[in-house]
Amino acid sequence: MPNQFAPRSRKVRVLATLGPASSSPEMIRKLFMAGADAFRINMSHGAHADKEPLVKAIRALEKELGRPSTILFDLQGPKLRVGKFEEGKVFLETGQTFVLDRDSTPGNADRVELPHKEIFAALEIGARLLLDDGKLVLRVSGVEKDRIETLVEVGGALSNSKGLNVPDVVVPMAALTKKDRIDLAFAVEQGADWIALSFVQRPEDVAEARRLIGGKAAVLAKIEKPAAVERLEEILELADAVMVARGDLGVELPPQQVPLVQKQIVETARRMGRPVVVATQMLESMIVSPSPTRAEVSDVATAIYDGADAIMLSAESAAGAWPEESVSMMDRIAIAVENDPGYKARLHFTQTLPDPTTADALSEAAKEIAETISAAAIICFTNSGASARRIARDRPSVPLLVLTPNEQTARRLGLLWGAHAVITKDVSNFEEMVAKSKRMALRHGIAKSGEKIIIMAGVPFGTPGSTNMLHVQRLTGKELEGHNSD
C-alpha cells in the first residue's frame, strides 16, 4: 500500500462517479488507491437508501488512511421530457408537422404531450427543440398557450419519455425541482462537501441553491446550456466551482463548438480563481473495454494541458466493466502530461493576474520565489481555503501542502489543483508556525533534509482573511525528533 501520508504524484485531481459497478467499500477503496481524489454521487439514479452506504464507506476510508475524503452530490436538475405514445414509439419523418401540447392522452406520429407549461410561454417561432439527446430536431412554426406546432428538420424514432432540450431560449424554470430540494436536504444531512447544480441558466439559480445550503457545502455550477455560457462570469461570481458538463452542452451546441466553449470555461474559471472540472465521455470506451481509444487519451490530456483542476469519470467508473482500470488510466495520463517538459509553458497560456490585495500579491510571489530558489514546496495555513485557492490559481510548479484546522475546508480541497490538505491544530505564534511547517513537510514526504520550503500564513494567527506573510525556511531533517504527531 502506498504511503498514506504522501501526496499524489500529479496535481490535477480525479473525480470518480460511484454506481452499481463501484458501490462496495472494497471497490471504493480500490478506486482511491488507483488515483481517485474525490467521489461523485449521482442523484439522478437510485434511492437515498442506496447513497448512505456510499458516504459511510468513503468516510471510513478517510479514517483508515488518515487523509480527507471529498464527496460531491450531483443533483438531477429540471430534466425536460415528452410524454408517452400509444404504441410506446413513433417514427417522425423529416419535413412533417409535429405538435407538442398539454393533452395527457398518449401520443402518436402527429402529436405528444409536453408536460412543462413553462416552455410554452418561453418559446418563439424559429426556436429549435432537440429530442433524445439531439438525435431529432424540431423547428417551432407556431406557438399557442397549450400548443406548439413544429416542423421536423431531422427525423427518426421517438419513444416514451425521451429528453427534450431547448437551446435557443432561457426557460423560466427553477434550477431546483421538488426532487432536487429533497435530494439537497439529504445531501447536506449526509455531510456533502460539494453540491453540483444541473442545468444552471443564470446566476439566480446559484443564489437560490446557496440560500438553501446555508454554507454547509460548497456549490459547483454545471455549465451545460448556452444561456449559462453567456452569463458565465456572473455565475462564477456566485459559485465555488464550475463543471464543463459536455453531455447536454454537446447536445445544445453544434459539436464543433464544444471544444471552444470548454476552453473558454476553463480559462474563465482559472482567471477568477474557481476550481474547474471537465466531465463527460472522457474515457467512454472503457465502459466496455479495458483500454481507451487514442482520441480519448488525447481528450483527457488536452483538459490537463489547459489547466483544469479536475477530470471526471462518469459511467466508466459507475457502471462500466473496468472502474478501477478507468481511474488508473486517468492517473497515468495525468502523470505523463505533467512530466512533459512543455507542460508548464502550455499551462501558463492562461494569464491569472492577481487582484490588488495583499493575499493575491503574496500568492503570486510564492510561486515566483519557489521557482527562483528551487524550493521543494509551498506550505499554506488556511481556515477557509481561500489562500489555498489563490496559490493554486497561479499553478505553481512545486507541491502545495495545505494545513487547516477545519475538516470541512480540508475535504472541499479535494477538487483543487495541486492541493494536498492536512487537518491539523492551528498555530498561535511564528515559531510554532515554522516548526509545524517543517515537521509536516517531512512527515508528508514533500521535502527532505537540506531543501527549502515557502510558508504562507496570516498574522494574527487563526484570523480568517489575514494572509499577510511569506517566509522561507531550510529543513535540517531532524525536525521530527521528539514529535510523533501534530
- 144 has a pLDDT exceeding 50: yes
Residue 305 has pLDDT above 70, yes or no: yes
Q: Is 467 a catalytic residue?
A: no
Active site residue 40: yes
DSSP characters over 64-90: HHTS---EEEE------B---BTTSEE
Q: Has residue 51 got a pLDDT over 60? A: yes
d(CA 301, CA 374): 27
Closest CA to 8 of 380, 420, 336: 420
**What single-letter DSSP state applies at residue 49?**
H
User: What is the rounded CA–CA span in Å between residue 408 and residue 214?
Assistant: 14
280 is catalytic: yes
pLDDT exceeds cutoff 90 at 391: yes
The average pLDDT across 365-391 equals: 94
Crossing angle for the helix pair 25-34 and 48-65, nearest 10 degrees?
A: 50
pLDDT bracket for residue 1 (50, 70, 90): very low
pLDDT over 70 (residue 253) = yes
Residue 355 has pLDDT above 90, yes or no: no
**For residue 216, what is its C-alpha cell?**
454547509
Which residue matches cell numbers 481507451? 292
The answer to whether 70 touches 39, Cβ cutoff 8 Å, is yes
State the catalytic residue, choosing from 17, 70, 268, 280.
280
Catalytic hit among 11, 67, 111, 222:
222
Average pLDDT of the residues in 366-385: 94
User: Which letter does DSSP use for residue 335 in this model?
Assistant: H
CB 392 within 8 A of CB 419: yes
Torsion of CA 44, 47, 49, 55, to 10 degrees: -10
The confidence score (pLDDT) of residue 395 equals 95
Q: What is the mean pLDDT of residues 81-98?
A: 96
- Residue 395 annotated to the active site: no
Beta strands (DSSP E) in 216-300 are 218-223, 241-245, 276-279
CA distance 459 to 330: 40
Average the pLDDT over 419-433 and give the result: 92
Kindly state the average pLDDT of the residues 129-157.
96
CA 7 to chain centre: 20
Cα pseudo-dihedral 21, 24, 29, 34, rounded to 10? -10
**Cα separations in angstroms, 324 against 20, 28, 134, 218, 242:** 13, 9, 31, 27, 26
Q: Which of 30, 79, 81, 271 is catalytic?
A: 81
State the DSSP code for 469: E
Q: Which of 293, 240, 232 is nearest to 265 (CA)?
A: 232
Counting every residue, how long is the chain?
486
Cell output for 43: 442523484
For residue 372, pLDDT beyond 90: yes
What percent helix, strand, coil does the chain show, rounded to 5? 40, 25, 40
User: How big is the chain by its Cα radius of gyration, in Å?
Assistant: 24
Specify whether the CB–CB gap between 201 and 225 falls below 8 A.
yes
How far apart CA 418 and CA 359 sit, in angstroms, is 18
* pLDDT at residue 349 greater than cutoff 90: no
Q: Which of these is catalytic: 40, 270, 390, 438?
A: 40
